[in-house]
Structure 1
Amino acid sequence: MVAAAGAAGYFAAAGALSGEVLPGTRVAGVDIGGLSSASAEAVLRKGIADPAARPLITHLGATASDSGGEREILTPAEIGLSVDVRGSVADAGTGWPTPVSVVRVLFGGQEVAPRVAVDTGRLTARVSELAAEFDVPVREAEVGYRNLEPSVTLPRNGRALDQAQAAQALRSAYLRSAQPVRLPVRVVTPQVSAEVARRVAGTTARTAVAAPFLLKNGSRQATLSREDLAGDLRFVAAGPGLMRPSFDAGDTAADFRSRLIGDDRAPRDATFEIVDGEPRVVPSRTGQAIDAGRLGSLVAAAIEDGGSRTVEVPITKGAPRLTTAQARALGVTQQVSSYTTEHPCCAPRVTNIHRIAEIVNGHLVRPGETFSLNGLVGRRDVARGFVEAPMILDGRYVDDVGGGVSQFTTTMFNAVFFGGFQDVQHTPHSFYISRYPAGRESTVSFPQPDFRWRNDSPYGVFITTSYTSTSVTVNFWSTKRFDVESQSSAHYNVKSFSTLTDDGPKCIPMTGVDGFTIDVWRIFKKDGEEVRRQRFRTTYTPEPRLTCE
């Protein structure tokens, strides 16, 4: 009888409660009891809006006491977290209630955890971004060389965000707490201690460069000097407490190719030659090359084993960097610009002008590539044929190796100008020099100022140079895109020069030239119609008249 009465009471209560969320039901503190599913979703969506959008404050640190950790504020939207309102109401239940549910109603209701929707891709990506900002890579100990003296790079701990646990911590903290969420970070320790690195530097590293290597390819041979060996040799971490030699043979393979293989057997890039005023492709050729990776391993192994310092150089098949087909596809078909500047004969600066022209002659600039004069030529030095000649420094003429090469720079700048290519970096002289076109000239020094221009065309640009005792010429060969004209303003803001005297032993006289400002327009035309124009504004300071006493 009692059981029957209890069952009857349950079915009566359940029948009354079915179809609605049970009274006293709360989701994240929002009361949705007694409502239909649709009404409960609306009430829950409104009631949970603020906490669902509340940013999470994260604390990145190794331990709870790590007060030096970094903080980030993350919105739920950016890390892919939101409340699944419909799913949460479904979890609360609107169907036929169970006996347990009925009992809960009688004793004050139930608290249902909100269902969290997770965009895993967005959460993973944002945590990965946090790691990229926060992580510090471990620095392993390394032993290199300064000249022939071993030099130690000391190790340093790194740190790394545990990304999987960090993502889980963010999911768990969502809607549950306004307190900062600690994201787990681990310390990454180096494999080799400073003591081990210093010991290697004091013993093994010194022995490694005590003698040169003999490199052989059949009957051909060359000596890898101690200095060249030290330049590319390192001792690096190879396991806990272990360091091994590592030799980068890239430079060695390039420098010794001619001696150990011969130019007649080496790969040859396709290039161009000018025949009867037209560019023609000179075909490429495959050949032999030094396998730099294997050579580096052989040298390192010989150092580690302490054995013979004679190494048979590994040879591999070498492919050209520019094939015949690639060269033909570059569209180098005609002369697109040419410029000549003149100079007095036979001064030391003329030697430098000729030498830099020889280095640049035959260079190919591919589509999209930025040409750097300093990048190609490098520092001007006596070993490569440059001599001392006057150049401008701090408003005075001084002698320096490579002086005068700005004549070539100006010549190339004008080839760029009339070829219609993009000017990236050019620096006019501080004084106006009458042998150059005003406002259309450029100086250069090493390492700065450089002269750079970009081949912004879809075609290659092949550069040829030539010179006489009184002139230098730069020609660009490509496919013509524009007819380019130059237009100049009159000189304005003219400033008179001063008169100075100097009795120093290195004094170089100066003639005196007024300073001024000038505007030059580069006008691009196609089929006779102007398509755009570019202004270059140049201001020259007065060159003083300097008398040397």
Structure 2
Amino acid sequence: MRNRRARWLMKRQSTGEGHGLQRVGFDPSTHPGRYNPLMATRRRTLSRRVRTRRLVAAGILLVVGFVLLFLVIDALVFWGRVHTGVQIAGYDMGHLTRQQAEDRLAELVEQAAAAPVVVVAGDREWPVLPAAFGVVVDVEGTVANALRVTRGHGLVGDAMTRIGSYFSKRSVDLNGRINAEAVDLFIADIAGQLDSPAVNPTLEFLGAAVTVKDGAPGRVVDGPDLKARLVETLLSLHSTRVEVPMADVLPEVTAAGAEAAVLEAQVMISSPVVLTAGDKKWRMTGQEIQAAIDCVVQGQGEAARLMAVISSAKAKEFFQAVAEEVAIPVFNATWETDGKKAVLLEASSGRELDVGKTAVALTNAAKNPTNRVAEAVVAEVKPDRSTEKAASMGIESAIGSFRTEFEGTANRIANIARAAELINGTLLAPGEEFSFNHVVGERTEDRGFHVAKVVAPDGTLQDDLGGGICQVATTIFNAAFFAGLEITERKNHSLYFDTYPKGRDATVSWDGPDLRFLNDTGHWILIKAAATKTSLLFVIYGTPDGRTVSYSTSDWYEVEPQGVREERTDELAAGQTRIKDKGQDGRSCSVAWVVKSADGTVLRERVFESRYPMYNKIVEVGTKQ
């Protein structure tokens, strides 16, 4: 149809039909078969245009088809895989599945963790492993980011990214975190070794003459720059050397800015100053003022200037003497106890010298050429626990107590007294838990503990620091037991001691068992301890709520008679024997414990099980001839 219409249009144009025109000398009606050159040319031109358009369209379709086919094949090849050209921290991950990429990255992270980063400054080096900075790499998250490089950007975006990945690498940074505080501490340590701070001008005294000593520029570690370099390196999987960047720093004050301090200092040392507090007075001579003068910078930039001040640090002895004379001790509200009642003792405020403000007042007086008297600044010190606060805590009378008797070496007795001292006066808020190990702390010589016998894991008695404090744990456990408090952790000894209540002993160890109980009374409780050389008493004070405690102790069961183990020794003559360790029979018992409220409601019911394992009697047999 299109070709017919084209021929018809060409015919009309050649004959002038439709325009009221007709070619001169040519009558188409009389020459129907005659060749028309113009019309033929137009036909050929039109035909070429049509063919060209068809070829272009076919080419476009071919290219589009090829691209679509390529993208389909590419999508199939890299289905569930990292696309070619994608790297993580510079390492090629192309063609790997998610799991393969995660395994590969985890391997690289492990290798990097074992290789130190070396921080360098001249001929000094600080090698440090990434673990020191708490470096943690999110392997799964990083691989997920690598997979998303060619995904999730829309149809056109994904296509362009996929094609581009064949011609240029695309790197993905590690997902990770670093302990910034550890990095800051590391940089601070290096700065402490390398920094040469700028020195401000200062004052020099030669008799009554005051001169300015020039300052000097400095050179310090550029902390922010070093931190950025370290973080970048630590999250790069490449152990390398990191140069410490240094920065030049100038003094805060120029020599010209120090001239005013010279005039101030001359006035300050010209005569004594007097410090007063009520009717008390203290005199500081000109020489003492000179020895106490320090320089501080006031203002910034061009406005910065040096000021002469009396330093509380340089005049430490002077201010300490004043502080001792003006001080009034502060007393917290507390309780006087007698084993039954707790009587409230009122709090009282104290006062203390405000050294900083007093130094300022003294400086101002010294800069005054005439009125050279300063008033000491004394501040009121309020108690941490006021009388009103203590009265509201509900500590009125004893709600539980227990006493044990003991004997032993001087070291054991001293350990018992020390642990009791650390617990004495402990206050527990409603709902707060008591922990023996937390309150008493680690048993070390520095904390006042000595070597005495302890129960070893094999049931023998051996020397160790803190021996004897299980006497304290057992005593306070029983006080909490009879107070009806909730026991949250308790373990019996492996050896049975008949000096403790049957089935109601408690063992503790710094790196092992603890004794813990909860204050569930609804009011504060106060724990008081009193130790002598032969006895220990714990009393728990609070608000009695009428709760009662009852218990019953079982007979021994699961009894396992002890065996005998012989050990040969040449320390004894043949035929002689001696007992090296008595051991014990194995046996168990239980204590049924019931706590009831004032109206008879059972608050808690529990059975404390105690198992004392069998330990062989060890008998040494002589072999000496």
Alignment TM-score, normalising by the size of structure 1? 0.50
In 2, distance between residues paired with 1:490 and 1:496?
16
Provide closer, same or farther for how the CA distance between residues 411 and 186 of structure 1 changes in structure 2, counting only shifts above 3 A. closer
Q: Do 1:365 and 1:462's aligned partners in 2 also have CA atoms closer than 8 Å?
A: yes
SS at match of 2:583: strand
* Matching residue's letter, 1:449: P
Provide closer, same or farther for how the CA distance between residues 156 and 334 of structure 1 changes in structure 2, counting only shifts above 3 A. closer
In 1, distance between residues paired with 2:128 and 2:352?
34
For residues 463-483 of structure 1, what are the alpha-carbon distances to aligned partners after superposition, in whole Å with 9 as ceiling and x for unaligned? 111233332111100122321
Counterpart for residue 283 of structure 1: 346
In 2, distance between residues paired with 1:546 and 1:345?
23
In 2, distance between residues paired with 1:267 and 1:316?
12
Q: Do 1:270 and 1:322's aligned partners in 2 also have CA atoms closer than 8 Å?
A: yes
Counterpart for residue 457 of structure 2: 394
In 2, distance between residues paired with 1:339 and 1:475?
7
Counterpart for residue 411 of structure 1: 475
Counterpart for residue 343 of structure 1: 406
In 1, distance between residues paired with 2:570 and 2:378?
59
In 2, distance between residues paired with 1:436 and 1:264?
48
SS at match of 1:240: helix
Once the two structures are TM-superposed, the CA of residue 337 in structure 1 deviates from its matched residue by 0.4
Counterpart for residue 519 of structure 2: 455
For residues 355-402 of structure 1, what are the alpha-carbon distances to aligned partners after superposition, in whole Å with 9 as ceiling and x for unaligned? 221222222122222222222222223445433221111221101122
Provide closer, same or farther for how the CA distance between residues 158 and 517 of structure 1 changes in structure 2, counting only shifts above 3 A. closer
In 2, distance between residues paired with 1:259 and 1:444?
46
Q: Among 585, 590, 612, which residue is 1:514 paired with?
A: 585
Q: Among 369, 378, 386, which residue is 1:323 paired with?
A: 386
In 2, distance between residues paired with 1:380 and 1:320?
31
Once the two structures are TM-superposed, the CA of residue 533 in structure 1 deviates from its matched residue by 0.9
Counterpart for residue 545 of structure 1: 617
Q: Do 2:339 and 2:539's aligned partners in 1 also have CA atoms closer than 8 Å?
A: no
Q: Do 1:152 and 1:197's aligned partners in 2 also have CA atoms closer than 8 Å?
A: no
Superposed counterparts of 1:97-116, under 5 Å: none
Counterpart for residue 272 of structure 1: 335
Counterpart for residue 435 of structure 1: 499
Once the two structures are TM-superposed, the CA of residue 282 in structure 1 deviates from its matched residue by 2.7
Which of structures 1 and 2 has the bigger CA Rg?
2
Provide closer, same or farther for how the CA distance between residues 346 and 156 of structure 1 changes in structure 2, counting only shifts above 3 A. closer
Counterpart for residue 191 of structure 2: 200
Once the two structures are TM-superposed, the CA of residue 316 in structure 1 deviates from its matched residue by 7.3
In 2, distance between residues paired with 1:352 and 1:511?
25
In 2, distance between residues paired with 1:369 and 1:483?
21
Counterpart for residue 369 of structure 1: 432
In 2, distance between residues paired with 1:361 and 1:156?
40
In 2, distance between residues paired with 1:393 and 1:158?
40
* Matching residue's letter, 2:406: H
In 1, distance between residues paired with 2:457 and 2:471?
19
Provide closer, same or farther for how the CA distance between residues 328 and 283 of structure 1 changes in structure 2, counting only shifts above 3 A. same
Superposed counterparts of 1:346-357, under 5 Å: 348-357=411-420
In 2, distance between residues paired with 1:508 and 1:260?
68
In 2, distance between residues paired with 1:194 and 1:461?
42
In 1, distance between residues paired with 2:332 and 2:189?
45
Counterpart for residue 472 of structure 1: 536
For residues 161-206 of structure 1, what are the alpha-carbon distances to aligned partners after superposition, in whole Å with 9 as ceiling and x for unaligned? xxxxx9xx9xxx79999x9xxx99988897989996675354349x
For residues 443-480 of structure 1, what are the alpha-carbon distances to aligned partners after superposition, in whole Å with 9 as ceiling and x for unaligned? 11223322222222321111111233332111100122
Instruction: State percent identity of aligned pairs.
Output: 26
In 1, distance between residues paired with 2:322 and 2:135?
44
SS at match of 2:616: strand
Q: Among 211, 224, 243, which residue is 1:239 paired with?
A: 224
* Matching residue's letter, 2:614: P
Unaligned residue ranges in structure 1 (runs of 5+): 1-58, 73-140, 143-149, 161-165, 206-234, 245-257, 295-313
In 2, distance between residues paired with 1:355 and 1:425?
22
Counterpart for residue 559 of structure 2: 494
In 2, distance between residues paired with 1:237 and 1:272?
56
1:444 and 2:444 equivalent?
A: no
* Matching residue's letter, 1:517: S
In 2, distance between residues paired with 1:535 and 1:282?
40
SS at match of 2:438: helix
Provide closer, same or farther for how the CA distance between residues 202 and 407 of structure 1 changes in structure 2, counting only shifts above 3 A. same
In 2, distance between residues paired with 1:358 and 1:407?
14
Provide closer, same or farther for how the CA distance between residues 423 and 277 of structure 1 changes in structure 2, counting only shifts above 3 A. closer
In 2, distance between residues paired with 1:535 and 1:428?
13
Aligned residue-pair number: 345
Counterpart for residue 134 of structure 1: none
SS at match of 1:436: coil
Counterpart for residue 395 of structure 2: 332
Q: Do 1:524 and 1:531's aligned partners in 2 also have CA atoms closer than 8 Å?
A: yes
Q: Do 2:416 and 2:472's aligned partners in 1 also have CA atoms closer than 8 Å?
A: yes
Q: Do 1:368 and 1:455's aligned partners in 2 also have CA atoms closer than 8 Å?
A: yes
Q: Do 1:266 and 1:286's aligned partners in 2 also have CA atoms closer than 8 Å?
A: yes
In 2, distance between residues paired with 1:315 and 1:151?
51
Provide closer, same or farther for how the CA distance between residues 398 and 271 of structure 1 changes in structure 2, counting only shifts above 3 A. same
Q: Do 2:187 and 2:223's aligned partners in 1 also have CA atoms closer than 8 Å?
A: no
Bigger relative contact order (CA 8 A; separation at least 6) = 1
Once the two structures are TM-superposed, the CA of residue 499 in structure 1 deviates from its matched residue by 2.8
Q: Do 1:151 and 1:201's aligned partners in 2 also have CA atoms closer than 8 Å?
A: no
Once the two structures are TM-superposed, the CA of residue 261 in structure 1 deviates from its matched residue by 6.6
Provide closer, same or farther for how the CA distance between residues 261 and 188 of structure 1 changes in structure 2, counting only shifts above 3 A. farther
Superposed counterparts of 1:163-178, under 5 Å: none
Counterpart for residue 284 of structure 2: none
More strand by share: 1
More helix by share: 2
In 1, distance between residues paired with 2:353 and 2:616?
57
Superposed counterparts of 1:117-132, under 5 Å: none
* Matching residue's letter, 1:539: R
SS at match of 1:473: strand
* Matching residue's letter, 1:408: V
* Matching residue's letter, 2:592: W
Q: Do 2:327 and 2:352's aligned partners in 1 also have CA atoms closer than 8 Å?
A: no
Unaligned residue ranges in structure 2 (runs of 5+): 1-80, 99-117, 120-125, 139-144, 159-171, 197-219, 227-245, 250-319, 358-376, 572-577
In 2, distance between residues paired with 1:402 and 1:270?
32
Q: Could you say what the CA RMSD is over the residues aligned between the two structures, in angstroms?
A: 5.4
Q: Do 2:476 and 2:538's aligned partners in 1 also have CA atoms closer than 8 Å?
A: yes
SS at match of 1:450: coil
* Matching residue's letter, 1:487: S
Counterpart for residue 117 of structure 1: none
Provide closer, same or farther for how the CA distance between residues 370 and 495 of structure 1 changes in structure 2, counting only shifts above 3 A. same
Provide closer, same or farther for how the CA distance between residues 265 and 371 of structure 1 changes in structure 2, counting only shifts above 3 A. farther
For residues 100-151 of structure 1, what are the alpha-carbon distances to aligned partners after superposition, in whole Å with 9 as ceiling and x for unaligned? xxxxxxxxxxxxxxxxxxxxxxxxxxxxxxxxxxxxxxxxx99xxxxxxx99
In 2, distance between residues paired with 1:321 and 1:176?
69
* Matching residue's letter, 1:427: K
